[in-house]
Amino acid sequence: MDAIFLQILNGLDKGSAYALIALGLTLIFGTLGVVNFAHGALFMLGAFCAVTLNRILTISSTSIDPTRTDFLGNPMQVQTPYVEKWFGTEFGASLIEWSVPLAILFSIPIMAFVGLAMERGLIKHFYKRPHADQILVTFGLAIVIQEIVKYFYGANPIPTPAPDVFKGSFDFGVLIGYEANTILYPYWRLIYFSFAAAVICAVFAFLQFTTFGMVVRAGMADRETVGLLGIDIDRRFTIMFAIAAVVAGLAGVMYTPILSPNYHMGMDFLVLSFVVVVVGGMGSLPGAVAAGFLLGILESFASKAEVIAILPGINQVIIYVIAIFILLMRPRGLMGRKGVMET
Amino acid sequence: MSKTDFTRRGVLKTGAVAGGAMALPTIFTSKARAFTNEPTGANVTFGFNVPQSGPYAEEGADQLKAYQLAVEHLNGTGADNGMLDTFSSKALTGQGVLGKKVEYVSGDTQTKSDAARASARSMIEKDGAVMVTGGSSSGVAVAVQALCQEAGVIFMSGLTHANDTTGKDKRANGFRHFFNSYMSGAALAPVLAKAYGTDRNAYYLTADYNWGYTTEQAVREATEAAGWNTVATVLTPLGAGDFSSYITPVLGSGADVLVLVHYGGDMVNSLTNAVQFGLRNAQANGRNFEIVVPLFSELMAQGAGENIKGIIGSQNWDWKLENQIGAKYVGTNAFVQSFGNKYGTPPSQSAQTGYVQALLYADAVERAGSFNPCAVVEALKDFDFDGLGNGPTTYRGADHQCFKDVVVVRGKENPDDEFDLVEIVELTPVEQVTYAPDHPQFAGGNLGTCNPGV
């Protein structure tokens, strides 16, 4: 029982990352009709916003400590971050420690700008081209972004820990009547799940309860009619692209304490997120979210040693097996609408 | 009245005949060569095939720096002579190799066997490399080694730790300086038994490729011989990203030790996950839960940050060896000074093994008096040397594996600076990690005979 509970928690956690990325993908596909293979790169860029803020906060002045030596036997150079000099050691250190939560604010304008630049600068030229062209150009863009990040930050994962308050684990066991230390779950993963839920709700609320959202939904349903009513739907869709980029970026920022970011982390998520979108139903936002959580939980269960003992290798293929199964049963995916990607 | 006989076709025909005639002598000379890419001019080309992209790009970048340093030292153009001054063989003089200036070409293995083979093939066929060296993955090492055997050039492998490289996939033209899975197991088992007791229950998460299999087997057999019990072994996909669903079942499984047979980014991720899920502070079977990482690297320790603290593992070499353990590991400081002054960081073990391999090859050529692969093989066979940072070392002729002491390390609790990430726990003497060439973990391979190509 405790193992099942843990795997469900794991699945929710992994599912929230899939759901956030898939949500952005679906937003872009639903509005602009573009299959954006560079979306994983946006997730990665978000994570590197957190790394960059950490680097900015730790820009240091160098002084020589004659009592210590470095690895070459020369006097040791000691780095003191400017924020510690300016704001006092304690406050400065806590600013650095809280760099990941602070990066949420830092990343929003950056990701919005990246989203706008990407859409206006490149992707808009491919709206009338076949999906295959769109996939090729966005995939190429993803590789270019990856290599740029690698050039500046190297290929190694960069540890970006959460603030000390969030280290450690929450003891679910005690809460539901088990012994202490049987069902532990890290605080930060619980925060990630709650954060993802909040972002998903915010996006849905924005689309459902604002005039802007209403126009966008109308545009998704019938772009031509909305355009004939004199509404500049393209501008709104461009803004939606920026919002999707921000959602992917935030997912990346908050993921950094879970996995040390590296330049190809986006690709690892991208393929799975596409499966999530297809299983959820192309163009369906609730479908993407539901499929994200569903596949996350199933993947977690398939990784249990007992399951692998019965079906070796199932952990590596489960998502695709489920995808095939669902597409055979419901060819448009869980909540797919008629007419999307169909001619 | 004059008439010119030049027609477009005529010019083309004449050109083709003239071109063919000019190419003729080289065709004959290439036939006349005694072995593949025999250097005939004033220069000789080495091929450095390292991962410049992909998950091990950082290890590759450090290795390439070391190779460039080796070339400077071989040609006598560096700021110092590096390990040439401490190397027990004095055949190299810093005047090139056999009087020829060393040049190099580099390729990107991408940590993929097919890309690595393509890049090695291009270096051999297009650039005329007389030897190929480098790499940071056993899958790549085995693939490139087989290619070099067919092509008739020497392969001096880089960072490759799977038993297979000098076990079932060994080749006469291939040589490994790096230690292997068996040696890690043999070195770690006594240290682990001493640190954590002889009645532990281990759970293995193993990377799903040849290095993972042989390392898991080596550590499992060695620790079981010391009294440990194996609870479960689970294969994990390469580049799984988040390992949480593999980590969570560990605590309830009855295990009290988790062995992470992962390397590079996977190791950083799985270790980070394990620490996040409280395994470092957990209790199991009435004892502290422990984590073991059989193959360590400084670059990985950097990625894992503070999660590496207190974790035991093994290394081929460490830049602090000579200062902390003693003059037996002479050469270490010479290399660290040379590398540190040029690049500003201490070298990783990936860099050291690359640098040493380049020097060992050049030295063997010098002693043999020829670049012929078969002469080089003879010169390296059962070659005893010292002064390259690992203490007295032998290149065993039976499998082309180096035998030397193994470094057992632990993630340092209170590092002095950003490079001081691991502390040396013990140097396991070479006798303790030596095995017979026909040991079951290495069975099934055949060295064959050297191939000079052509």
Chain B within 8 Å of A229 (Cβ-Cβ)? Answer: no
Residue of B nearest to A312 (CA): B235
Within a domain: B451 = no
The domain of A129 spans: 2-52+102-329
- CB contacts, 8 Å: B53 with chain A: 147, 150, 155
Residue A303 confidence (pLDDT) above 50: yes
CB B265 to CB A156 under 8 A?
yes
pLDDT higher at B164 or B57 = B164
Option in A159, A258, A316 nearest B242 (CB): A258
Within a domain: B203 = yes
pLDDT value of residue B27: 41
**Domain CATH for B390:** 3.40.50.2300
- CB contacts, 8 Å: A3 with chain B: 248-249, 252
Q: How far is CA A196 from CA A191, A266, A286, B433, in A?
A: 8, 17, 14, 50
Within a domain: B134 = yes
Q: B2: distance to nearest CA of chain A, Å?
A: 60
Q: B347: distance to nearest CA of chain A, Å?
A: 11
Q: B105: distance to nearest CA of chain A, Å?
A: 21
- CB contacts, 8 Å: B416 with chain A: 68
pLDDT value of residue A250: 94
> Once rounded to an integer, what is the mean pLDDT over residues B74-102?
95
Residue B137 confidence (pLDDT) above 50: yes
Residue B174 confidence (pLDDT) above 90: yes
- pLDDT category, B1, cuts 50, 70, 90? very low
- pLDDT category, B64, cuts 50, 70, 90? very high
Within a domain: B98 = yes
- CB contacts, 8 Å: B208 with chain A: 316
The reply to whether B289 and B386 lie within a common domain is no
CB B269 to CB A189 under 8 A?
no
Within a domain: A316 = yes
pLDDT value of residue B24: 46
The reply to whether B304 and B348 lie within a common domain is no
> Once rounded to an integer, what is the mean pLDDT over residues B179-191?
96
Chain A within 8 Å of B272 (Cβ-Cβ)? Answer: yes
pLDDT value of residue A151: 87
- CB contacts, 8 Å: A260 with chain B: 268-269, 272, 303-305
- pLDDT category, B18, cuts 50, 70, 90? low
Residue B30 confidence (pLDDT) above 80: no
- pLDDT category, B153, cuts 50, 70, 90? very high
Residue B301 confidence (pLDDT) above 90: no
The 10s digit of each residue's pLDDT in A252-280 is 999 999 888 988 888 878 888 888 888 98
> Once rounded to an integer, what is the mean pLDDT over residues B139-168?
95
- CB contacts, 8 Å: A157 with chain B: 265, 268-269, 303
- CB contacts, 8 Å: B232 with chain A: 305
pLDDT value of residue B162: 95
Q: What is the mean pLDDT of chain B?
A: 90
The reply to whether B155 and B279 lie within a common domain is no
The whole-model pTM stands at 0.84
pLDDT higher at A160 or B153 = B153
The reply to whether B163 and B55 lie within a common domain is yes
Residues B168 and A247: their CA atoms lie apart, in Å, by 50
pLDDT value of residue A168: 79
Which helix (H) or strand (E) element contains residue A47? helix A39-57
CB B61 to CB A262 under 8 A?
no
Within a domain: A69 = no
Residues 272-291 of A with CB under 8 A from B: none
The 10s digit of each residue's pLDDT in B245-267 is 888 888 878 899 999 999 888 88
Tally of domains in chain B: 2
Option in A68, A76, A161 nearest B305 (CB): A161
Within a domain: A86 = no
Tally of domains in chain A: 1
> Once rounded to an integer, what is the mean pLDDT over residues B98-113?
93
Residues A39 and A270: their CA atoms lie apart, in Å, by 7
Chain A within 8 Å of B241 (Cβ-Cβ)? Answer: yes
Q: A89: distance to nearest CA of chain B, Å?
A: 19
The reply to whether B370 and B352 lie within a common domain is yes
The reply to whether B221 and B145 lie within a common domain is no
pLDDT value of residue A253: 95
Within a domain: A183 = yes
The reply to whether B108 and B175 lie within a common domain is yes
- CB contacts, 8 Å: A305 with chain B: 232, 234, 249, 253
Within a domain: B25 = no
Residue of B nearest to A2 (CA): B252
Beta strands B229-236 and B312-315: pairing type? Answer: unpaired
- Contact yes or no for B73/B65 (Cβ under 8 A): no
Domain boundary among B315, B335, B361: B315
pLDDT value of residue A50: 96
The 10s digit of each residue's pLDDT in B363-391 is 999 999 999 999 999 999 999 999 999 99
pLDDT higher at A291 or A312 = A291
Within a domain: A271 = yes
CB A259 to CB B241 under 8 A?
yes
Option in A155, A182, A265 nearest B58 (CB): A155
The reply to whether B259 and B287 lie within a common domain is yes
> Once rounded to an integer, what is the mean pLDDT over residues B331-353?
96
Task: Report residue A233 CA to chain centroid gap.
Answer: 27
pLDDT higher at B177 or B239 = B177
Q: What is the DSSP code (8-state) at residue B42?
A: S
Residue of B nearest to A70 (CA): B417
The domain of B60 spans: 43-179+321-404
CA-based nearest residue to A196, from A13, A46, A7, A11: A13
Within a domain: B409 = no
Residues A130 and B186: their CA atoms lie apart, in Å, by 59
pLDDT value of residue B151: 95
> Once rounded to an integer, what is the mean pLDDT over residues B312-328?
95
pLDDT higher at A109 or B22 = A109
- pLDDT category, B28, cuts 50, 70, 90? very low
Residues 175-204 of B with CB under 8 A from A: none
Chain A within 8 Å of B343 (Cβ-Cβ)? Answer: no
Paired with B101 in beta bridges are: B43
Q: What is the mean pLDDT of chain A?
A: 88
pLDDT value of residue B32: 57
Chain B within 8 Å of A157 (Cβ-Cβ)? Answer: yes
CB A68 to CB B249 under 8 A?
no
Residue B314 confidence (pLDDT) above 60: yes
Among A28-32, A93-97, A305-309, top mean pLDDT goes to A93-97
Q: How far is CA A191 from CA A42, A96, A256, A265, in A?
A: 21, 19, 13, 20
Within a domain: A110 = yes
Residues B334 and B321: their CA atoms lie apart, in Å, by 12
Domain boundary among B296, B315, B334: B315
Residues 306-325 of B with CB under 8 A from A: 306-307, 319
Q: B293: distance to nearest CA of chain A, Å?
A: 17
Q: A81: distance to nearest CA of chain B, Å?
A: 15
pLDDT value of residue B15: 56
Residue A6 confidence (pLDDT) above 70: yes
Paired with B260 in beta bridges are: B205
Option in B249, B251, B303 nearest A159 (CB): B303
Torsions phi, psi of A130, nearest 5?
-60, 160
Residue partners of A232: CB distance under 8 A and separation at least 6: none
> Once rounded to an integer, what is the mean pLDDT over residues B424-451?
94
The reply to whether B47 and B167 lie within a common domain is yes
- CB contacts, 8 Å: B277 with chain A: 169, 184-186
- pLDDT category, B31, cuts 50, 70, 90? very low
Residues 78-137 of A with CB under 8 A from B: none
CA-based nearest residue to B178, from B233, B224, B223, B215: B215
Within a domain: A62 = no
Residue A220 confidence (pLDDT) above 80: yes
Q: How many CB pairs under 8 A join A and B?
A: 131
Residues B156 and B46: their CA atoms lie apart, in Å, by 11
The reply to whether B370 and B395 lie within a common domain is yes
CB A168 to CB B278 under 8 A?
yes
Task: Report residue B381 CA to chain centroid gap.
Answer: 19
Residue B29 confidence (pLDDT) above 90: no
Chain B within 8 Å of A262 (Cβ-Cβ)? Answer: yes
Within a domain: B448 = no
Residue B43 confidence (pLDDT) above 70: yes
Chain A within 8 Å of B239 (Cβ-Cβ)? Answer: yes
Residue of A nearest to B204 (CA): A305
Option in B237, B272, B278 nearest A260 (CB): B272
pLDDT higher at A8 or B83 = B83
Within a domain: A229 = yes
- pLDDT category, B411, cuts 50, 70, 90? very high
The reply to whether B299 and B357 lie within a common domain is no
Using DSSP's 3-state secondary structure scheme, residue A77 falls into strand
Residue B359 confidence (pLDDT) above 60: yes
Residue of B nearest to A181 (CA): B282
Within a domain: B160 = yes
pLDDT value of residue A198: 95
- pLDDT category, B191, cuts 50, 70, 90? very high
Concatenated DSSP letters for A256-324? TTTS---TTHHHHHHHHHHHHHHHH-TT-HHHHHHHHHHHHHHHHHHTSHHHHHHSTTHHHHHHHHHHH
Task: Report residue A303 CA to chain centroid gap.
Answer: 22
Residue A181 confidence (pLDDT) above 90: no
Chain A within 8 Å of B411 (Cβ-Cβ)? Answer: no
Chain A within 8 Å of B368 (Cβ-Cβ)? Answer: no
pLDDT value of residue B17: 56
Chain A within 8 Å of B227 (Cβ-Cβ)? Answer: no
